[in-house]
Amino acid sequence: MSTILVFGASGQLGQCLAHVARERGTAGLHFLAEEQANILNPEGLAALFAEHRPAYVINCAAYTAVDKAEDEVDLARRINRDGVVNLARLCGEHGSTLIQISTDFVFAGSGNQPLAETDETAPISIYGLTKLEGEQVIPGLTERYFTLRTSWLYSEFAGNFVKTMQKLGRERDELRVIWDQVGTPTYAIDLAGVILGIIESQSTAYGLYHYSNEGLTSWYDFATAIFELSGIAVKTTPIRTSEYPTKATRPPFSVMDKTKIKTALGVAIPHWRESLKTCVARLATAE
């Protein structure tokens, strides 16, 4: 039985991986919380690799506080770049396959066409920059890797936009939501299924891939769909990004082209609204 180490297991995607693994009966996964496996501790990581000799390493650990990263540059870089260096180096030494999670924030988002893996990166935030730096260090340390860029993650687990909108929609009479940032919501349960599918297929089509759900939407339209599917009656007003200033700049258009992952890895991708229906139904069942 192959051993799979999951770093950042307490985060949203880590919890989704655990859920999907249970549903599929996938064995061999070891979910390591930060206190067990700090990716900034090379000695501790070396001991883990020596003990488990993993076939796969899934890195869900990341600094994801987008606005705070503008002030905590060194910490964001240590986690998003240096931590990846530590894992990739050990993967190279042990022959393990690294599955690294990255982000649409590596793009400036200044265009209006879906972004392919070969398109120029130009991050406009510290978060996006440090995640890109994490991507860039991998190929020099190991040939066995899958880097998956994703966007707008949500699920039944941890804090995310869907759960926040449901909470605020039930508490308030009116919400103002940005309409001039366009992207694709991604159900983290779907992403977890793709990750486990890569492992189960034992694919050697290594490299960089984009994965989100299909379609595109704005944050305003996403929120409207959440309220509609959740049966929440709240007045929703569209606003421009300039009316809701944040410390970090967000890409105005970050819709990713998924042609490569569909053709090279045979991945079938549901539309974002269909996956949102599933998530909302599961959240209702859990209430």
Q: Confirm whether 127 is a catalytic residue.
A: yes
User: One of 127, 145, 211, 220 is an active-site residue; which one?
Assistant: 127
CA distance 253 to 255: 6
Task: Tell me the mean pLDDT in the region 223-252.
Answer: 97
Model-wide pTM > 0.85 = yes
CB 182 within 8 A of CB 254: yes
- Under DSSP, the state recorded for 250 is P
Distances (CA, A) of 263 to 3, 6, 266: 27, 26, 5
- In the chain, alpha helices (H): 12-24, 42-52, 73-77, 83-94, 126-137, 161-171, 188-201, 219-230, 259-264, 272-286
Task: Tell me the mean pLDDT in the region 56-66.
Answer: 97
CATH architecture of 4-159+186-212+255-269: 3-Layer(aba) Sandwich (3.40)
CB 190 within 8 A of CB 276: no
Q: Is the pLDDT of residue 32 over 90?
A: no
CB 188 within 8 A of CB 154: yes
- The pLDDT value recorded for residue 286 is 85
Can you give the residue ranges of every domain in the chain? 4-159+186-212+255-269
- pLDDT (tens digit, 9 = 90+) per residue, 130-156? 999 999 999 999 999 999 999 999 999
